[in-house]
C-alpha cells in the first residue's frame, strides 16, 4: 500500500462528523495519495465504503486497533463531491408514518448504532446495525417489503444497496430518517 499522506483523527465523533473531517482531509491531498482515517464510530467502516462509492474515491483497507478503526482511502479523482443517496427507492417519513397508522407498514430495519436505537426508535423496528446488515437480515423473510432507516438516510441508503444485492425485491430507504421523525417512538 502507498504511504499515508495525511491522517484524520475522528475518534470519539459519530456520524456524520468522521465523513466531514475526511472530506476536508481528502481535499487537502493530491490525486494518488492515501488518506488514513481513525474512527471509533462502529458504523464508520460501512459509512466510508459507501462514501468512497459516492465520491469515486477508493477504499483500500480497514484495520481494527484497540478500540478504534484505521481506514485507508486513496484519492482517485480531484474533486471530492458526493453523488448523494444512490439507492433509487425512497419513502418519506410522512409516508411511513401514514402506513404505520394504517397498519400497512413494511418491515422496518433500523440500522443505527445500539445507543441510537436505545434512545428511541419506531415501534416494531428490527435493530440491525449497519455493519451487520448482511448477516443480521439472513434470518428474516426474504419476500417481505422492507424499509431501512438511520439518522439521516446515509447508512440506510447503503443498507438498502446491500439488501437489494442479497435478493430483497421491495426495499425502501426512509428519508430524511430519525433526525426528523415525527411519528411514534418507543424506548
pLDDT digits (tens, 9 = 90+) for 45-73: 988 988 887 788 899 999 999 999 999 99
Mean pLDDT (the chain) is: 90
Mean pLDDT, residues 134-153 = 86
Task: Evaluate if pTM is beyond 0.75.
Answer: no
- Give 157's Cβ-side CA count (13 Å radius): 20
Q: Which of 15, 52, 150, 160 is catalytic?
A: 15
Q: Same CATH fold, 90-180 and 4-74?
A: no
User: Are 152 and 179 in contact, with CB atoms under 8 Å apart?
Assistant: yes
Cis peptide before 4 (omega within 30 of 0): no
- Give 75's Cβ-side CA count (13 Å radius): 24
- Give 104's Cβ-side CA count (13 Å radius): 4
Look up 15 and say whether it is catalytic: yes
Domain ranges of the chain: 4-74, 90-180
How far does Cα 32 stand from its chain's mean position?
26
* Residues with Cβ within 8 Å of residue 135, at least 6 apart in sequence: none
Q: At residue 83, what are phi and psi to the nearest 5 degrees?
A: -80, -10
pLDDT of residue 1: 64
CATH code at 90-180: 3.40.250.10
Mean pLDDT, residues 79-105 = 88
Q: Which conformational region is residue 139 in: left (phi greater than 0), alpha (psi within -120 to 50 degrees), or beta?
A: alpha
Give percent above pLDDT 70 in the chain: 97
- Distances in Å between the Cα of 95 and the Cα atoms of 100, 108, 143 are 9, 13, 21
Q: Which residue has the higher pLDDT, 116 or 154?
A: 116
Which CATH fold topology does 4-74 show? Translation Initiation Factor IF3 (3.30.110)
Q: At residue 104, what are phi and psi to the nearest 5 degrees?
A: -120, 20
Mean pLDDT, residues 136-142 = 79
Amino acid at each position: 500500500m502507498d504511504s499515508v499522506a495525511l491522517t484524520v483523527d475522528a475518534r470519539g465523533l459519530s456520524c456524520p462528523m468522521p465523513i466531514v473531517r475526511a472530506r476536508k482531509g481528502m481535499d487537502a491531498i493530491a490525486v494518488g495519495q492515501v488518506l488514513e482515517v481513525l474512527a471509533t464510530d462502529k458504523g464508520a467502516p460501512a459509512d466510508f465504503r459507501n462514501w468512497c462509492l459516492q465520491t469515486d474515491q477508493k477504499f483500500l483497507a480497514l484495520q481494527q486497533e484497540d478500540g478504534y478503526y484505521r481506514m485507508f482511502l486513496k484519492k482517485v479523482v480531484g474533486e471530492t463531491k458526493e453523488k448523494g443517496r444512490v439507492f433509487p427507492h425512497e419513502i418519506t417519513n410522512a409516508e411511513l408514518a401514514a402506513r404505520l397508522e394504517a397498519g400497512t407498514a413494511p418491515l422496518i430495519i433500523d440500522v443505527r448504532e445500539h445507543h441510537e436505537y436505545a434512545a428511541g426508535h419506531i415501534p416494531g423496528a428490527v435493530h440491525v446495525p449497519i455493519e451487520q446488515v448482511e448477516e443480521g437480515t439472513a434470518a428474516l423473510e426474504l419476500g417481505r417489503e422492507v424499509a431501512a432507516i438511520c439518522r439521516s438516510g446515509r447508512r440506510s441508503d447503503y443498507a438498502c444497496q446491500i439488501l437489494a444485492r442479497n435478493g430483497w425485491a421491495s426495499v425502501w430507504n426512509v428519508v430524511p430518517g430519525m433526525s426528523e421523525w415525527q411519528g411514534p417512538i418507543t424506548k
